[in-house]
Amino acid sequence: MGENTLAASERRELCTLMDRLGPDAPTLCEGWTTRDLAAHLVVREGRPVAAAGILLRPLAQATARVQRSIAEWPWPELVELVRNGPPRWSLMRLGPMGEKINGIEFFVHHEDVRRVGRGWEQRPADPHRAEALWAVLSRLARLCYRHSPVGVVLRRPDGTERVARRGRRSVTVVGSPEELTLHAYGRAEAIVDLEGDQMDIQRLQDSRRGF
């Protein structure tokens, strides 16, 4: 894993933050502390059979059991496993797409820890981070918004657009690639502007987003 990639930098910063906050800090993932989040990342990267339940709802309970078991491991060990990255045989290490998927995953979870409570601030603009996220979000947006009852268009401040979901009526979500990513993943803390009919906007906001 390249040290200067989005995945590497977000992983490194998230682990540093978790080291500082400890295992019991809240996150934006409902019901999860930093310990639960770390266990989730270990399962996702190093337990492929158990990780299937992250995407396949019939297997979700089995995944949750494995995650709870891993969450009981010593906190320094958990964080170190996340910091070291996926095992050499993991699909998360294979090719540039694995690196890109990890980049968006670790960005979102880094913000899940950063944006809890009051007083948090957006990070300074980073063109490299923005372009890396936009490249992956452009491919994943249709999946993230698959439950939306209205069409969805993503628009960057420079006017660049991607159609995330087609529909007779649409809502345009406007923001930086970072904030658009967080909205696509269902984070209410995403700083975006929503353009469209107010009822359509509400229907979009009430729908399930992400995976």
Please name each of the domains of the chain with its CATH number.
6-114 (no CATH), 142-206 (3.30.1050)
pLDDT band with cut points at 50, 70 and 90 for residue 4: confident
Question: What pairs with residue 173 in β-bridges?
Answer: 154, 194
The terminus-to-terminus CA distance of the chain in angstroms comes to 24
The b/e string for 146-181 (b: 16+ C-beta within 10 A; e otherwise) is eebebbbbbbbeeeeebebbeeeebbbbbbbbbbbb
pLDDT tens column, 138-192: 999 999 999 999 999 999 999 999 999 999 999 999 999 999 999 999 999 999 9
Under DSSP, is residue 15 helix (H, G, I), strand (E, B) or coil?
helix
Q: Contact, 70 vs 40, CB < 8 A?
A: no
Residues whose CB is less than 8 angstroms from the CB of residue 88 and which lie 6 or more positions away in sequence, other chains included: none
Q: What is the distance between the alpha carbons of residues 132 and 157, in angstroms, rounded to a whole number?
A: 16
pLDDT tens column, 27-50: 999 999 999 999 999 988 865 544
Q: Give this prediction's pTM.
A: 0.89
**E strands along 134-200, which residues?**
151-155, 161-165, 170-174, 193-195
pLDDT tens column, 62-113: 667 888 899 999 999 999 999 998 777 666 665 565 677 889 999 999 999 9
